Amino acid sequence: MKILVVEDEPVIREMIGDSLAKWGFEPILVSDFEQVMSLFSEQAPGLVILDINLPKFDGYYWCSRIREVSKVPILFLSSRTTPMDMVMAMNMGGDDFIQKPFHMDVLMAKINAMLRRVYSYLDVQTHVIEHQGVLLNLNDGDVSVGEHRAELTKTEFIILNMLMRHAGTIVGRTKMMRSLWADESFIDDNTLTVNIVRIRKKLADLGKKDYIVTKKGQGYLIP
């Protein structure tokens, strides 16, 4: 099982990673603290270890972002020791809290207990598609890159969802329109072009220009 470790102190991060590996887990160690959600979506971890004091955005923020798309267990790890910090961690969606300094055996025991408790009845699923830093939220239909988001219309969402699910493969215009018709979004060839232009504009505004490539006479491709 993969465990995502979001800890900005390198020594502690590496120690946790080594201990997780010894216990048979696959540690995913975050070093770029602006790409937590991208890494979460790519790796689909079974548990997250999350520090509170982090560069730019704190652990509470990342916990709330993860909770938008997943019920994966989150264990807060922090030098903050006030009751309010613990209450805040739980209110933001955390499942447990351990204070620094801590004994590694205690941390491992908590992790194993959480996994036994959670996975005995919970099927954890993420509700995002990620490709090349672009995240498509399947719950609310938003698309985001880093901390920037854009809302999609229903038709734009269906189109981008299809292209991202078939990344690396050309998706024909006829196939797109048939999919939209099946969803009762009755569009013609010109309307499809307009929607592609709108999606490209939104992606460009998010810093992803040329994310969708036109294959003349064939369709569209996300490389």
Q: Average pLDDT of the chain?
A: 88
The string of pLDDT tens digits covering residues 27-73 is 999 999 988 998 998 888 999 999 999 988 999 999 999 998 888 99
According to DSSP, residue 142 is labeled -
Residues 146 and 39 in one domain: no
* CATH code of the domain containing 27: 3.40.50.2300
Residues 82 and 174 in one domain: no
Residues 103 and 144 in one domain: no
Place of tokens 């809302």: 151
Residues 148 and 113 in one domain: no
DSSP-derived 3-state class of residue 98: strand
d(CA 132, CA 155): 22
The domain total for the chain is 2
Task: Among 98, 122, 146, give the residue marking a domain's end.
Answer: 122
Residues 89 and 134 in one domain: no
Task: Among 122, 137, 154, give the residue marking a domain's end.
Answer: 122
Beta strands in 89-175 (DSSP E): 96-99, 128-131, 134-137, 143-145, 148-150, 171-172
What confidence score (pLDDT) does residue 182 get? Answer: 64
pTM (two decimals):
0.58
d(CA 65, CA 202): 21
* CATH code of the domain containing 145: 1.10.10.10
Contact between 3 and 48 (Cβ < 8 Å): yes
Residues 114 and 133 in one domain: no
Task: Among 122, 139, 169, give the residue marking a domain's end.
Answer: 122
Residues 212 and 151 in one domain: yes
Residues 135 and 118 in one domain: no
What confidence score (pLDDT) does residue 124 get? Answer: 44
Residues 19 and 84 in one domain: yes
The string of pLDDT tens digits covering residues 147-168 is 788 999 989 999 999 999 888 8
* Structural domain range at position 51: 2-122
Residues 111 and 138 in one domain: no
